[in-house]
C-alpha cells in the first residue's frame, strides 16, 4: 500500500493524483465530517493504473531499491511550504489547502518525522521575528494535528528573519520569506 | 574621520553662542542643538603631547606613536573630552586646555634585543595641568609590543576616572553575530574597532550574545539539530556548554548583575514567557504567564525589575515587571511595534527599537515612560538591537545604512556616531561588555 519502491517520477505522478483525488473528495465531501481521510485509497487505485502506462517504458525492469523517505527533504516527496501575510500567523485558504495535501502525504509515510521551521521577512526586530516565526510554525503544527498527524511526528523551530529564502528588500522577496518550511530534522 | 563631526559640532557651538543673547530666537532652537551645545560646553579640553623617546630607536618611536594614537582616540571616544594631539591638532585658539598628557618611552635594552625575543618597553605616562604642568597622575608600565594598546587604554581609563569620577570604557569589548543564511558566528571586537576575533565555528546560527558581569562567559542562542538552545561560551578558552534547551524558544538572555542568574524567554509552555534561570540551567522563577509573546528581557541595574516586550494588547510593547512577576506596567504607548529594550547601567534610561512604516529606529525613554526621544534618523535606514556601554552614555547598535547591517556606536548625549565594524557580511545583535 505504501508508495515505497516507486521511482521519483512515479511518485510525482502519484502525488498529482493524490492531490486531484483530494480535491475531488473535497468537492463532493461537503457535509460529511471525518470521511476524506479514509477515502483516497479507493479513488487512487484505478487512476494510478491508467497513468503508469506512459511512464513504464522508461522504468527499468529490475527491482527498484526501497526509497527511505526519512533521508529525503520533505519537498522531494511533495510536501509544500506554507506562506503568510505580513505580521500574521493565521492560515489562509491557500495554506489550508497545502496543509490538507501535506497531511495526506504524511499519512502515507508514517515513518517520517518532520521539522516545521517558521520564517519571517527582514522587517522588524530579530527577537520578535523569532517569536513570530515560532507562532507560524506552531499554527501549521496545530493544524496538521487537527488533520490527524500524531504530535510526536511534528517538531517545531523558528529561524525568524535569519535564513531568508529570497534576498532583497522588496515585497516579492518578503513574501517568499514569510513561510513555514518543512525540513528533515 | 572624527574631525568632520567635531568641526560641525564646533560650528553648532559657535552658532549657539551667537544667538543665545536673543531669547526669542533661542526658543526656536531644536532640542538636538541644545543637547549638542550643552555637552560641548561641558567637555574637558586636553592636550596629548608627543611622548619623549629616551632610547630604543625606531621600535620605541613607533611604540610612542601607537600609544599617542590610542590615547587620543580613547579620550575622544569617551565623549568627555575635546582632544588635541600631534596627529590631530585642534585649530589655534579653539580649545581652552585644562590638562595635558605627557610621558616617555624607553626601548628594550640591548641584551634583550640580541636574544631576539619580544622585550618590554618602559612607558611612563603623566596627567598634568595645562598650562602649569602640575602633576596629577603618573603611571609606569612595562608592556610587550602587543600590549601597547592595552597600556594606552588603561591609562585613558585612569584619566577619565580621575577627572570625571566615572569608569572609563577603553578596555571594553563588543560581542556580536556575523554572517548570513545558514551560518552566523559570534565575533568579538574591542570597543574602538580593533582586535576583531571570531569565537564560534559550528556551522549554524549563533545569535543574541550577552556578557556575564565579569566578562568570563557569553550566553547566546544557537541551534542543535534545528532546535534552539541557550548556550554559554567561556571567553578564556572558547569552551561551549549548554545552559538550557527546552522545547521552543530559548532566547534573549540577560545576566543579573550578580552573575547568579539570567533572565531569558522560553516557550516551553506554548507561548514565550520570561523566566529566571541559573547559569546551570535550572528554572528559578517564571516571571510572566501570559497567552502572548513575552520576550527580550533586560534587567534594571539594581536587579529588581525587568523590562521586556509583550504583545498582549495585539502589538509588541514594552513593559516593566518586578522580578518576582508582580506589578507589571506598560512603558510604551507610542508606536505600534516596540522591542529590544536595554536598561542603561546607570539606571536612568532605557533604549529600544521602534518600527514605523517598515523602518526600525532607536528611541530613548526614562524608566517612568517620560521624555521619549528618537535617537536615530530614518535616513540611516534601520537601526536595531541597541546595547549599552558601562558608562551609560554610549550604545552600540546594528544599522543597514550602507547596505549590509554593520555596527555603530552612538554617544546618546551629544549624538555623535561612529562605525565600529566594516565589510560586506551582516553584523547583528551586538552586546557591550560590562567592564
**B306-362, pLDDT tens digit by residue?**
999 999 999 999 999 999 999 999 999 999 999 999 999 999 999 999 998 889 999
- Per the CB < 8 A criterion, the answer to whether A127 and B295 are in contact is yes
Q: Within an 8 Å CB–CB cutoff, is residue A136 touching chain B? A: no
Minimum distance, in Å, between the CA of residue B297 and any CA atom of chain A: 11
Residue pairs between chains A and B whose CB atoms are closer than 8 Å: 79
Q: Which band of pLDDT confidence, cut at 50, 70 and 90, is reported for residue A9?
A: low
Q: Of B181, B267, B360, which is closest to A134 when you measure between CB atoms?
A: B267
Minimum distance, in Å, between the CA of residue B402 and any CA atom of chain A: 14
Contacts of A45 (CB under 8 A, 6+ apart): none
* B33-42, B102-111, B203-212, B213-222: range with lowest mean pLDDT: B33-42
Strands in B294-299's sheet, in edge-to-edge order, are: B294-299, B305-310, B317-322, B329-330
Q: Alpha-carbon distance B103 to B425, whole Å?
A: 41
Q: Alpha-carbon distance B68 to B103, whole Å?
A: 10
Minimum distance, in Å, between the CA of residue B178 and any CA atom of chain A: 11
Minimum distance, in Å, between the CA of residue A34 and any CA atom of chain B: 27
Q: Which is higher by pLDDT, A36 or A185?
A: A185
Q: What residues of chain A lie within 8 A of the CB of B353, using their CB?
A: 125
* Structure letter (DSSP) for residue B340: E
- Name the grid cell of B80: 568627555
Q: What residues of chain B lie within 8 A of the CB of A132, using their CB?
A: 293
Q: Which band of pLDDT confidence, cut at 50, 70 and 90, is reported for residue B17?
A: very low
- Taking only the tens place, the pLDDT of each residue in B155-191 is 999 999 999 888 899 999 999 999 987 899 999 999 9
Minimum distance, in Å, between the CA of residue B118 and any CA atom of chain A: 44
Q: Is A128 within 8 Å of B293 when comparing Cβ atoms?
A: yes
Q: CA dist B353 to B341, B370, B384, Å?
A: 7, 16, 6
DSSP of A26-64, one letter per residue? HHH-TT-SSGGGTTHHHHHHHHHHHHHHHHGGGS-SSPP
Instruction: Return the percentage of chain B with pLDDT > 70, whole number.
Output: 87
Q: Is B296 within 8 Å of A127 when comparing Cβ atoms?
A: yes
Q: What residues of chain A lie within 8 A of the CB of B360, using their CB?
A: 123-125
Q: For residue A117, give the 3-state DSSP assignment.
A: strand
pLDDT for position B158: 96
Q: Within an 8 Å CB–CB cutoff, is residue A162 touching chain B? A: yes
Q: Is A123 within 8 Å of B358 when comparing Cβ atoms?
A: yes
Q: Alpha-carbon distance B189 to B151, whole Å?
A: 17
Residue A38 has pLDDT above 60, yes or no: no
Q: Alpha-carbon distance B312 to B309, whole Å?
A: 9
| Backbone CA torsion sign across B356, B357, B360, B362 | negative
* Structure letter (DSSP) for residue B424: S
Contacts of B362 (CB under 8 A, 6+ apart): B351, B352, B353, B354, B374, B375, B376, B383, B384, B386, B395, B397, B410
Average confidence (pLDDT) over B246-272: 97
> What is the phi/psi pair of residue B286, to 5°?
-95, 115
Q: Of B228, B337, B353, which is closest to A157 when you measure between CB atoms?
A: B228
pLDDT for position B107: 84
- Name the grid cell of A139: 499554527
The H helix count followed by the E strand count for chain A is 5, 4
Pairing assessment for the beta strands B52-55 and B99-106 based on DSSP bridges = parallel
Q: For residue B278, give the 3-state DSSP assignment.
A: coil
Q: Which residues of B touch A (CB under 8 A)?
A: 181-182, 184, 205, 207-208, 223, 225-228, 247-249, 251-252, 265, 267, 270, 272, 293, 295-296, 309, 311, 316, 337, 339-340, 353, 355, 358, 360, 384-385, 428-429
> What is the phi/psi pair of residue A177, to 5°?
-90, -10
Q: Of B207, B247, B293, which is closest to A131 when you measure between CB atoms?
A: B293
Residue with cell 541644545: B34
- Per the CB < 8 A criterion, the answer to whether B111 and B59 are in contact is no
Q: Which of B246, B216, B245, B219 is nearest to B232 (CA)?
A: B219
Q: Is B385 within 8 Å of A126 when comparing Cβ atoms?
A: yes
Q: Alpha-carbon distance B354 to B140, whole Å?
A: 47
Q: At what angle do helices A93-108 and A8-28 cross, to 10 degrees?
A: 120
Q: Which band of pLDDT confidence, cut at 50, 70 and 90, is reported for residue A67?
A: confident
Residue A26 has pLDDT above 90, yes or no: no
Instruction: Return the percentage of chain B with pLDDT > 90, whole number.
Output: 76
- Per the CB < 8 A criterion, the answer to whether B264 and B250 are in contact is yes
Q: Alpha-carbon distance B301 to B144, whole Å?
A: 37
Average confidence (pLDDT) over A82-102: 96
Strands (E), chain A: 82-83, 114-119, 154-160, 179-183
Q: Within an 8 Å CB–CB cutoff, is residue A145 touching chain B? A: no
Q: For residue B33, give the 3-state DSSP assignment.
A: helix
Q: CA dist B54 to A49, B107, B306, Å?
A: 96, 7, 54
Q: At what angle do helices B57-77 and B148-164 cross, to 10 degrees?
A: 40
Q: Which is higher by pLDDT, A107 or B37?
A: A107
Q: Alpha-carbon distance B278 to B208, whole Å?
A: 18
Q: Is B227 within 8 Å of A183 when comparing Cβ atoms?
A: no
Q: Is B207 within 8 Å of A126 when comparing Cβ atoms?
A: yes
Q: Is B248 within 8 Å of A115 when comparing Cβ atoms?
A: no
Q: Which band of pLDDT confidence, cut at 50, 70 and 90, is reported for residue B380?
A: confident
ipTM over cut 0.90 = no
Q: Which band of pLDDT confidence, cut at 50, 70 and 90, is reported for residue B392?
A: very high
Q: Within an 8 Å CB–CB cutoff, is residue A130 touching chain B? A: yes
CA angle A162, A168, A174 (to 5 degrees): 70
Q: Alpha-carbon distance B74 to B157, whole Å?
A: 8
Residue with cell 567637555: B43
Q: Is A128 within 8 Å of B360 when comparing Cβ atoms?
A: no
Q: Which of A127, A142, A154, A177 to mutate to test binding with chain B, by most B CBs within 10 Å of its CB?
A: A127
Q: Which band of pLDDT confidence, cut at 50, 70 and 90, is reported for residue A112?
A: very high
Amino acid at each position: 500500500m505504501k508508495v515505497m519502491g516507486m521511482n521519483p517520477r512515479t511518485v510525482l505522478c502519484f502525488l498529482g493524483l493524490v492531490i486531484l483525488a483530494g480535491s475531488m473528495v473535497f468537492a463532493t465531501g461537503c457535509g460529511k465530517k471525518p470521511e476524506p481521510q479514509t477515502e483516497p485509497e479507493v479513488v487512487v487505485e484505478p487512476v494510478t493504473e491508467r497513468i503508469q502506462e506512459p511512464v513504464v517504458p522508461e522504468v527499468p525492469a529490475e527491482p527498484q531499491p526501497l526509497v527511505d523517505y526519512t533521508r529525503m527533504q520533505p519537498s522531494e516527496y511533495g510536501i509544500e511550504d506554507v506562506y503568510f501575510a505580513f505580521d500574521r500567523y493565521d492560515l489562509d485558504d491557500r495554506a489550508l489547502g497545502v496543509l490538507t495535501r501535506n497531511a495526506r502525504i504524511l499519512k502515507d509515510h508514517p515513518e517520517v518525522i518532520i521539522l516545521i521551521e517558521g520564517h519571517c521577512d527582514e522587517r522588524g526586530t530579530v527577537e520578535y521575528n523569532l517569536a513570530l516565526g515560532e507562532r507560524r510554525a506552531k499554527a501549521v503544527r496545530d493544524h496538521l494535528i487537527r488533520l490527524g498527524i500524531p504530535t510526536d511526528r511534528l517538531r517545531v523551530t523558528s529561524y525568524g528573519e535569519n535564513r531568508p529564502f529570497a534576498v532583497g528588500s522588496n515585497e516579492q522577496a518578503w513574501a517568499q520569506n514569510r513561510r513555514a518550511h518543512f525540513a528533515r530534522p | 574621520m572624527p574631525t568632520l563631526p567635531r568641526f560641525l559640532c564646533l560650528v553648532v557651538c559657535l552658532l549657539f553662542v551667537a544667538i543665545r543673547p536673543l531669547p526669542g530666537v533661542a526658543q526656536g532652537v531644536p532640542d538636538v542643538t541644545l543637547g549638542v551645545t550643552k555637552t560641548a560646553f561641558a567637555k574637558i579640553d586636553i592636550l596629548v603631547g608627543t611622548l619623549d623617546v629616551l632610547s630604543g630607536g625606531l621600535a620605541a618611536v613607533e611604540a610612542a606613536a601607537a600609544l599617542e594614537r590610542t590615547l587620543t582616540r580613547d579620550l575622544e571616544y569617551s565623549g568627555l573630552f575635546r582632544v588635541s594631539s600631534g596627529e590631530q591638532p585642534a585649530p589655534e585658539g579653539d580649545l581652552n586646555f585644562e590638562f595635558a598628557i605627557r610621558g616617555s618611552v624607553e626601548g628594550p635594552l640591548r641584551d634583550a634585543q640580541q636574544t631576539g625575543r619580544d622585550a618590554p618597553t618602559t612607558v611612563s605616562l603623566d596627567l598634568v595641568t595645562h598650562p602649569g604642568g602640575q602633576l596629577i597622575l603618573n603611571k609606569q608600565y612595562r608592556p610587550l609590543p602587543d600590549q601597547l594598546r592595552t597600556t594606552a587604554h588603561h591609562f585613558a581609563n585612569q584619566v577619565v576616572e580621575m577627572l570625571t569620577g566615572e569608569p572609563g570604557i577603553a578596555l571594553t569589548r563588543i560581542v556580536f553575530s556575523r554572517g548570513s543564511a545558514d551560518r552566523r558566528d559570534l565575533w568579538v571586537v574591542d570597543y574602538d574597532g580593533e582586535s576583531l576575533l571570531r569565537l564560534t565555528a559550528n556551522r549554524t546560527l549563533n545569535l543574541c550574545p550577552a556578557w556575564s558581569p565579569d566578562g568570563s562567559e557569553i550566553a547566546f542562542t544557537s541551534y542543535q539539530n534545528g532546535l534552539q538552545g541557550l548556550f554559554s561560551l567561556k571567553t578564556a578558552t572558547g569552551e561551549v556548554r549548554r545552559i538550557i534547551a527546552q522545547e521552543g524558544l530559548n532566547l534573549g538572555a540577560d545576566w543579573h548583575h550578580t552573575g547568579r542568574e539570567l533572565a531569558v524567554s522560553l516557550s516551553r509552555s506554548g507561548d514565550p514567557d520570561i523566566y529566571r534561570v541559573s547559569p546551570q540551567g535550572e528554572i528559578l522563577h517564571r516571571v510572566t504567564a501570559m497567552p502572548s509573546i513575552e520576550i527580550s528581557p533586560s534587567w534594571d541595574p539594581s536587579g529588581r525589575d525587568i523590562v521586556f516586550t509583550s504583545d498582549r494588547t495585539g502589538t509588541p510593547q514594552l513593559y516593566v515587571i518586578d522580578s518576582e512577576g508582580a506589578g507589571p506596567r506598560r512603558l510604551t504607548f507610542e508606536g505600534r511595534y516596540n522591542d529590544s529594550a536595554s536598561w542603561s547601567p546607570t539606571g536612568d534610561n532605557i533604549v529600544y527599537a521602534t518600527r514605523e512604516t517598515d523602518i526600525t529606529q532607536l528611541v530613548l525613554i526614562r524608566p517612568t515612560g517620560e521624555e521619549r526621544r528618537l535617537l536615530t534618523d530614518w535616513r540611516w535606514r534601520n537601526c536595531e538591537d541597541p546595547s549599552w556601554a558601562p558608562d551609560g552614555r554610549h550604545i552600540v547598535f546594528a544599522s543597514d545604512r550602507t547596505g549590509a547591517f554593520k555596527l555603530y556606536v552612538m554617544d546618546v548625549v551629544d549624538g555623535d556616531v561612529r562605525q565600529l565594524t566594516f565589510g560586506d557580511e551582516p553584523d547583528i545583535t551586538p552586546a557591550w561588555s560590562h567592564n
